[in-house]
């Protein structure tokens, strides 16, 4: 998927419609269909089938059966079609995913579902997560060239940004938090775009900033900066503190990893600050000494009192440390749990506000360990291989940056293995991208018969 700067100059100043048309014009029907699947999947996860929810409506959180059924069907069909396309042309890449570690993770998830406190809920949500994750993993393989991959990524980003900004201008009551919101009226004035919450909009905009920087680096001198600037501006107005702080900090950290050649030094650069962040957050409620240290800091590492939620989640881990409470089934109704007594915020929380702690609660400590091995340790080793073979370093850096952002974002928010969460989707895409780049060379130009 390598490309030169000249590859994109003929489409830079054109409209989104022209970009899609011209980008697909050099492809045959099957290749064009593969690119359309990529764009459709990206828009489905970023825009969803229910954009601009009315947060003033008391029934906004009510799950509509027909709408959920459409979501499951849409993702299931896209996943099935994507697998068929990739199996026909990239069977070796698919086979490379069948590793003992990956099989152990899937096997443990299935065991966890069998012993889940809400087996039906866990199974249902696992099916959706499997469909969404499958598409995310296959997206790097679907476009026939890196040029078409870049165009698909840029087209989806521009479509989302256009929709979000149109919402701000034409329907601000549906795209900006208001004082009339049923929950969290204190967020009034924060932009959320087509998303249901600013805490979803802000990390997505951060990832789009990275996409814009990447496209600029590979020669897209109009579309790339436009995406980065529009996403960056939107990020500021979301008021998302975590994503805003992490945005440039993670890009700087990724740049440091990029110029560090030794793998062990890379690991220290990536993981030492990550461990420190987890110690300052969840660790502060586990250890009185750490708690005393964090209280001396000039900032609140518990992010306005999340310590109650972490204490509640840690108590839940202690109840079932090995098997966990069940994939995606713990937080539906925690008000009846004995460990929630006296913790008003914990009983109303939808998750633990820490991805790693949440996995320990739901799929147990063995499940957490497997996730760390697959999604935390392996990607950095893959990136080291990408650099060693000099394979599409700009694309590798994009995947590295998104992966790093997800690791650090996970210290204050929950997204790992979370069904159609857009951050999880882009994170899984980045991890898969590093996996494939470490093992296969990208297609730079169209090849006959591909």
CA separation for the pair 421, 52 (Å, rounded): 16
* Secondary structure (H, E, C), the chain: CCCCHHHCCCCCCCCHHHHHHHHHHCCCHHHHHHHHHHHHHHHHHHCCCCCCCCCCCCCCCCCCHHHHHHHHHHHHHHHHHHHHHHHHHCHHHHHHCCCHHHHHHHHHHHHHHHCCCCHHHHHHHHHHHHHHHHHHHHHHHCCCCHHHHHHHHHHHHHHHHHHHHHHHHHCHHHHECCCCCCCCHHHCCCECCCCCCHHHHHHHHHHHHHHHHHHHHCCCCCHHHHHHHHHHHHHHHHCCHHHHHHHHHHHHHHHHHHHCCCHHHHHHHHHHHHHHHHHHCCHHHHCHHHHHHHHCCCCCCCCCCCHHHHHHHHHHHHHCCCCCCCCCCCCCCCCCCHHHCCCHHHHHCCCCCCHHHHHHHHHHHHHHHHHHHHHHHHHHHHHHHHHHCCCCHHHHHHHHHHHHHHHHHCCCCCCCCCCCCHHHHHHHHHHHHHHHHCCCCCCCCCCCCC
Q: pTM for the complete prediction?
A: 0.90
pLDDT in tens for each of the 450 residues of the chain?
443 333 444 444 344 555 555 555 556 788 899 999 999 999 999 999 999 999 988 776 665 555 788 999 999 999 999 999 999 999 999 999 999 999 999 999 999 999 999 999 999 999 999 999 999 999 999 999 999 999 999 999 999 999 999 999 999 999 999 999 888 899 999 999 999 999 999 999 999 999 999 999 999 999 999 999 999 999 999 999 889 999 999 999 999 999 999 999 999 999 999 999 898 888 878 877 766 666 666 555 555 557 788 888 999 999 999 999 999 988 876 655 555 454 555 555 667 789 999 999 999 999 999 999 999 999 999 999 999 988 788 999 999 999 999 999 999 899 999 999 999 999 999 999 999 999 988 765 554 443
């Amino acid at each position: 998927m390598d490309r030169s700067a000249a590859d994109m100059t003929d489409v830079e100043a054109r409209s989104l419609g022209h970009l899609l048309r011209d980008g697909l014009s050099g492809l045959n029907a099957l290749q064009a269909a593969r690119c359309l699947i990529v764009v459709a999947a990206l828009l489905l996860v970023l825009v969803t089938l229910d954009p601009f929810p009315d947060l003033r409506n008391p029934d906004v959180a009510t799950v509509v059966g027909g709408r959920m059924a459409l979501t499951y069907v849409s993702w299931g069909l896209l996943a099935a079609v994507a697998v068929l396309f990739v199996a026909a042309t990239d069977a070796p890449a698919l086979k490379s995913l069948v590793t003992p570690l990956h099989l152990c993770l899937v096997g443990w998830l299935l065991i966890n579902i069998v012993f889940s406190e809400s087996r039906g809920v866990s199974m249902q949500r696992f099916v959706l997560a499997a469909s969404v994750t499958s598409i995310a993993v296959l997206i790097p393989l679907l476009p026939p060239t890196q040029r078409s991959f870049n165009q698909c990524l840029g087209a989806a980003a521009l479509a989302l940004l256009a929709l979000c900004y149109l919402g701000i201008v034409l329907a601000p009551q549906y795209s900006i938090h208001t004082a009339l919101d049923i929950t969290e009226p204190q967020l009034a004035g924060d932009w959320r775009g087509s998303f249901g919450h600013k805490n979803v909009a802000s990390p997505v905009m951060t990832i789009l900033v990275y996409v814009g920087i990447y496209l600029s680096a590979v020669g897209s001198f109009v579309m790339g900066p436009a995406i980065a600037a529009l996403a960056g501006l939107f990020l500021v107005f979301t008021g998302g503190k975590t994503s805003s702080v992490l945005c440039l900090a993670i890009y700087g950290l990724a740049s440091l990893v990029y110029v560090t050649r030794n793998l062990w030094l890379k690991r220290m650069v990536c993981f030492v600050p990550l461990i420190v962040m987890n110690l300052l957050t969840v660790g502060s409620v586990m250890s009185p000494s750490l708690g005393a240290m964090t209280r001396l800091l000039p900032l609140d590492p518990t992010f306005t009192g999340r310590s109650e939620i972490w204490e509640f989640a840690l108590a839940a881990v202690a109840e079932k440390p090995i098997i966990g409470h069940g994939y995606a089934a713990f937080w539906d109704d925690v008000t009846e749990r004995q460990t929630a007594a006296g913790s008003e915020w914990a009983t109303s929380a939808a998750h633990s506000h820490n991805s790693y702690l949440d996995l320990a609660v739901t799929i147990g400590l063995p499940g957490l360990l497997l996730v760390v091995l697959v999604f935390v340790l392996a990607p950095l080793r893959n990136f080291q291989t990408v650099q060693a073979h000099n394979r599409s370093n700009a694309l590798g850096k994009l995947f590295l940056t998104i992966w790093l952002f997800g690791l650090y974002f996970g210290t204050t928010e929950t997204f790992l293995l979370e069904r159609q969460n857009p951050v999880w989707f882009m994170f899984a895409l980045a991890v898969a991208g590093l996996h494939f780049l470490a093992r296969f060379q990208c297609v730079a130009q169209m090849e006959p018969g591909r």
